[in-house]
Chains A and B, each alone.
Chain A
Amino acid sequence: MSLDWLSQYTVTVLILIFTTMGLALLLHLQLGLTGIGNFGIVGFYGVGMYAFGMFLVHVPWPESWGTIWPFLLSLVFGTVAAGLTGLLVGWLIVGLDADGVLLGTLGFATIVYGLSQTNRSLTGGAEGMGTTDYPYDIGSQKVNTLLWLGILVVVVALLLYYVMRVHRSPYGRLLVATGQNEALARSLGKPTFRAKLVMFATSSAAMGLLGALYGVMLHYVRPVELGITVTLAAIVGLVVGGATRSWGAVVGVLLVGVLFELVFMVWIPFPTEWRGAKLPVIRQMLYGATLILVLMTRPLGILGRMRRDKTVRSPDRG
């Protein structure tokens, strides 16, 4: 099978798009259902990425274990580490209102970014550190990356399935109720704080897993990867698709990702000298403008209202 039509770069961008889709799905649980505006997604993603990398590189794995076991164990470690930080941060912030959540999540992302630059012996400092190649080798670099894309798509599909299950479960309805009117939900004896905390910790763990998976594709983790763009892409994708719908994240991220990352950055033949500095800056401006336009004109995203629209929050809440 010839793969000449598909460039290595396009596959990497697709991996980026699917990672963002996973993050947006998890943000949908936090923002769309529960009303927690997480602006520090990249922090949890970064914890997963770095915890995975550091665990894999610094633990003296016995030779007899091969490559796959240390790899899987490190993935689990990254996920658990992100989940535990999610638990801690969630305990600090989920009881606060929108301003406190903004502060807490932004602050957490800043802390992670700051710590990733220090402790050179552990994290490699500002230059970053090499982690690992894919835990398999089935041919050329492109084929390996394609298989990784496939694995990522499976993970994201599982996340979508989980989110849809949450929508139909009593736990999901509790989250929606908490997002709409927490005082009412609590007065009916529902443990709103615990529900929010559990949701925040599990979604943070999954964000960490996505970060670790993306880190494997990078082969090299650097603080530069933990910029605001990750959070921004997930928020824009989710908002464009519709924050209250589980398919919103999928549709929105696909649309925004393909449009901005592939069509705008790769397929439109802009002059070459623009590619270095100008295009990425314009792309970020477009992201910002999209966010404003969509929320002003179509606050529920392109998918619009939900069937269960009465039970899910309307845009004029608060």
Chain B
Amino acid sequence: MTAEIDRGIESPVEPERGRGPQGWLRAVNRPIVKWPAALAVLAVLVAFWTIARQSLVIGVVSDAPLVLAAIGFALLYRLTGLINVAYSETVTMGAYIGMWVNTTFGLNFYLTLIPTAILTGLFSVLTYFAIFRPAKLRSVGVVETIIISFGLSIFLRYGLQFVFGFEFRYYDVPVQKSLSVLGVGVSPFRLTALGVTLALSLLLIWFIRKSRAGVRIRALAGDEKLAQVSGINPLATTVLIWFLAGMAGGLAGAFYGVNTSCRAWLGWDQFLFILLVVLIGGARGISGVLFAGLATGVALSFLELVPGLKTTPVYAQVIVIALFMVILKARGNRLLEAGKV
């Protein structure tokens, strides 16, 4: 009897079973080996294989708005623990607000991005005060909050459809000459979207890790009561999170809108992929979201480009969704540490 107890005390923690590879694989799995190796393989592929090159360029460039939208969603998800289905309507709102500013005031597209970002941020804060704050104060459960946000999403989506009608609307922008990147034609708007996405994510990573407001945000996400005791104003900080998330979503929407067209279902069509990217990449913070988003884009365009498969975009999406569901099953979707962005 005592021997058994002793043994229990000797090894209170079981050796990590099934977590991480064994032996030589463990050596390869170190980041310093893994990442350069992956990059080298990628570089070789891109250099010698046209399809890899094309899918890399098309995927990275065309899915930059997805990454931007996913970063906004991840902010809400990681910092407030909320799954906001109505975030898709924030994206749609960005597209419509941008279109409205662009066509009404005749502003240059790049200039419209600034009012669009601010107005969508305010819209996002408005949804917080109208719906999610009351819901939180009434201590609505997790699943119920998702259902509420689903209801809000439906309400806003059909509201937009009611106001703007069924027809697609377009930005008033001059026809763009496409630029050549690695031998693939790319529209300048898409390149801007990529640039804005990268810049904004670096800015956000810096902001949340280093700035005072960022520390407050993380403190609040970690332990709300302790943060309050330490003199952090939870309301102001939460509003800041919602504003930032709305800005990211609105910019993503504006880029979606200018690349294709504005329609009430724009955000919803992207929502599943936003959710996929955030749940798969979100555990590693914003950089994980960035990586997962770009990888999704590359995988989608790769599946469409491989000649033997004859995959239509629908099949490519089906394959990617199924693959991500399996990844999620294999990994589980535990939130690692609250407030780690």
Q: Which residues of A contact B (CB under 8 A)?
A: 31, 35, 37, 39, 91-93, 95-100, 102-104, 106-108, 110-111, 114-115, 117-118, 228, 232, 235-236, 239, 277-278, 281-282, 284-285, 287-292, 295-296, 299, 313, 315-318
Contact = CB atoms under 8 A, between A and B. Distances in A.
A47 to B, nearest CB: 14
Interface of B is mostly: helix
B328 interface: yes
B333 A107 contact: no
A98 B146 CA distance: 8
B83 interface: yes
A57 B141 CA distance: 45
Contact of B150 (A97, A103, A235, A285): A235
Nearest to A232: B154
B272 interface: yes
A289 B151 contact: yes
A282 B150 CA distance: 16
A267 to B, nearest CB: 21
Contacts of A100: 279, 328, 332-333
A191 B332 CA distance: 19
User: Top 3 nearest A-B pairs by Cβ distance?
Assistant: A291-B151, A288-B155, A288-B154
A292 B155 contact: yes
Contact of B333 (A96, A114, A281, A313): A96
A288 B314 contact: no
B139 A31 contact: no
B162 A37 contact: no
B147 A37 contact: yes
A114 B316 CA distance: 10
A114 B314 contact: yes
A118 B276 contact: no
A299 B325 CA distance: 30
A168 B152 CA distance: 35
A178 B168 CA distance: 46
Nearest to A35: B143
Contacts of A287: 151, 154
Given A106-B272, A295-B140, 17 more contacts: A35-B143, A96-B329, A107-B272, A110-B272, A118-B312, A118-B315, A236-B151, A281-B161, A281-B162, A282-B158, A285-B155, A285-B158, A288-B154, A288-B157, A292-B155, A313-B141, A315-B141
Given A37-B143, A114-B314, A99 B151 contact: no
B31 to A, nearest CB: 27
A37 B162 CA distance: 28
A95 B332 contact: yes
A287 B141 CA distance: 20
B83 A93 contact: no
A296 B148 contact: yes
B324 A107 contact: yes
Interface in B81-132: 83, 85, 131
21 contacts: A35-B143, A37-B147, A99-B146, A106-B272, A111-B321, A114-B315, A115-B318, A118-B314, A232-B150, A235-B147, A282-B158, A284-B154, A284-B158, A288-B153, A295-B147, A295-B148, A296-B138, A299-B138, A316-B139, A318-B141, A318-B142
B322 interface: yes
Given A100-B333, A315-B141, A316-B139, A107 B148 contact: no
Contact of A281 (B144, B158, B325): B158
Contacts of B147: 37, 235, 239, 291, 295
A211 B48 CA distance: 50
A291 B312 contact: no
Given A92-B326, A277-B166, A98 B154 contact: no
B135 interface: yes
Contacts of B317: 110, 114
B276 A103 contact: yes
B70 interface: no
Nearest to B333: A100
A119 B164 CA distance: 34
Contact of A37 (B146, B271, B326): B146
Given A288-B155, A296-B134, A296-B138, A93 B329 contact: yes
Nearest to A280: B158
Contacts of B153: 288
B159 interface: yes
Nearest to A314: B141
A92 B329 contact: yes
A290 B146 contact: no
A292 B83 contact: no
Nearest to A231: B150
Contact of B151 (A107, A292, A316): A292
B324 A289 contact: no
A285 B162 contact: yes
Given A107-B325, A111-B321, A291 B83 contact: no
A292 B152 contact: yes
A108 B318 CA distance: 9
Contact of B279 (A103, A115, A232): A103
B172 to A, nearest CB: 25
B191 to A, nearest CB: 29
A2 B144 CA distance: 46
B161 to A, nearest CB: 5
Contacts of A115: 314, 318
Contact of B135 (A93, A281, A296): A296
A289 B141 CA distance: 18
A288 B151 contact: yes
Nearest to B315: A118
Contacts of A236: 151
A285 B159 contact: yes
B262 interface: no
